[in-house]
Amino acid sequence: MHFIRTSLLLFCVFLGVGSASAQLVVTLDFEESKYVRYQEITATVTIMNRSGRDFILEGANGESWLSFKVINPENRIVPKRGNAPRVAPLMVRKGETVRRSIPLSLLYKFDAYGDYGVTAFAYYGPSDDYIGAPRKRVTITDGSVFWEEVVGFETGENQPLKYRTISLLIHKDYQRARLFMRVAEKDSERVLGTRYLGRILAFKDPQVTIDAENRIHVLFLSAPKTWLHTIALPDGSVLKPEIFREDGANRPYMMLSRAGRVSIHGGFFKGGSEALGGVAVNPAEERAIAAGNASNARRSLSDRPGTTITNVSSSVLPDDDDTLSLMGLPGREDPIPVPHPDIPRANVVE
C-alpha cells in the first residue's frame, strides 16, 4: 500500500511539472559554442507562452524570475556573482514569444579552460514552478598572441597615468580564424576582457600600429578582397570598423606620419560596419573622442556594474604629409606584421 501511495504521489508531481512545461516553453541559445577566455558571453533566453492566457514573469519573494545553473569543467556549480542585477518582471501575452539577452559572463565566472554546462530556468508563478531549458555546452579556449604592447592613458587632470597591456590574438578552428583584442591592467595583471574584432583570413598578416594618442590601429583581411580597419582605445573600447576593398594589386595599407597620425591608403573605402558591435562615429565624433569629450560614444571593457568609464585625455592630431609606410620597403607586396613591440612598426619610405 505504501508503495502504491508513493507511486501515485510521484506520478502527480510528474503531471504537474509536465503541465507547467507545456504552458511555458523555455529555450537557451548562444551566439557561439566556443569562446576565447575572458570574452563576453551573452545568453539568449526565449520564452513561449502556450498557457492560453496573459501572465507576468516575476520571481517569488523579490527574486529574479530568470536564473541559470552553470557547471564548470570540474563538474562543480559556479556561484553567481554577488552584485548580479535582478531581471525585471515581464508581461507575456498569450501565444507570444519573447527573448531576453543576458550578459552571462558578468553574472558567472568562465575563467577556466574546458566545457561548461549552462541551463536557464524561468519561474512560472501560476504553478509555482521553475521551468528549465535544455542544457547547452559552452567551451572556453584561447587564441595565439601575435602582438602585445603596454600603453598608457590619462584618467583625469593631475591624475597618474594608467598602464594597460594590449594583446592581439588569433583563434583558429577547422572552419575559420577570428581576431581578438585582450586588455589587462599592467600592474595587477587583471584581465578586463577580450574583445572580438572580426573574422580574419590568416594567410595575410594583419598590420598593427599605435598612433600618437596610444590608440591601436589594426588593418586585416576579413574576407576575400575585403579589409577591416579597426581602432581600439586603451580602455578596451572599439570604434566602428572601416571597410576597404582591394582591386587586383591595389590593396589598402596603413601609413604613419612622423607626428603619429595613421591613415589608410590604397584600395577603395566602402564605409563602416555595424556587425562587430563597434561604435559608429563620424569625423566630428572621432575628434570629440580624441579630445576626451565623448564619454558616452563608446563602450569600455572596464564598464562593469559599479564602475565608471574613464576617458582618454588627448588632443586632435595635426595633419602631416611626412609619412612612414607600414608596407615595408618600396615594392614589397605583403604587409609587414608587428608580432612584438621590439620589432619596428614602420619603415621610412624614401
Q: Return d(Cα 212, Cα 330) in angstroms, integer.
A: 24
Sole residue written with cell 587564441: 143
What is the per-residue pLDDT for 244? 93
Backbone phi, psi, residue 211, to 5°: -85, -175
Q: For residue 209, give the nearest of 302, 318, 323 by alpha carbon.
A: 323
Question: Which SS3 state, helix, strand or coil, does residue 198 take?
Answer: strand
- Helix or strand holding residue 8 (H, E): helix 2-23
pLDDT value of position 2: 44
Residue 290: Cβ-neighbour burial (10 angstroms; 0-12, 13-18, 19+): buried
- CA torsion 227-233-234-237 (nearest 10°) is -90
Q: HSE on the CB side for 101, CA within 13 Å?
A: 5
pLDDT, residue 36, reads 95
Question: What does the pLDDT read at residue 21?
Answer: 54
Run of H or E including 114: strand 114-124
pLDDT of residue 272: 67
Rounded to a whole number of angstroms, the distance between the first and last alpha carbons of the chain is 98
Cβ atoms of residues 228 and 273 within 8 Å: yes
Torsion of the alpha carbons at 190, 196, 202 and 205, rounded to the nearest 10: -70
Domain positions in the chain: 2-140, 202-348
Cβ 219 vs Cβ 252: under 8 Å: yes
Q: How far apart are CA 59 and CA 252, in angstroms?
A: 54
The domain 2-140 is classified under which CATH number: 3.40.50.970, 3.40.50.720, 1.10.8.620, 2.60.40.2970? Answer: 2.60.40.2970
Give the helix/strand (H/E) hosting 139.
strand 136-141
The pLDDT assigned to 247 comes to 87
Compute mean pLDDT per 10 residues along the chain, 350 residues long, and list them.
44 43 85 93 93 85 88 95 80 90 92 96 86 95 94 79 91 89 90 92 88 93 93 86 90 90 89 49 38 40 32 28 36 31 33
| Neighbouring C-beta atoms of residue 83, cutoff 10 Å | 10
8 phi and psi angles, rounded to 5 deg: -65, -40
3 state SS of 289: helix
Chain-centre distance for alpha carbon 224: 24
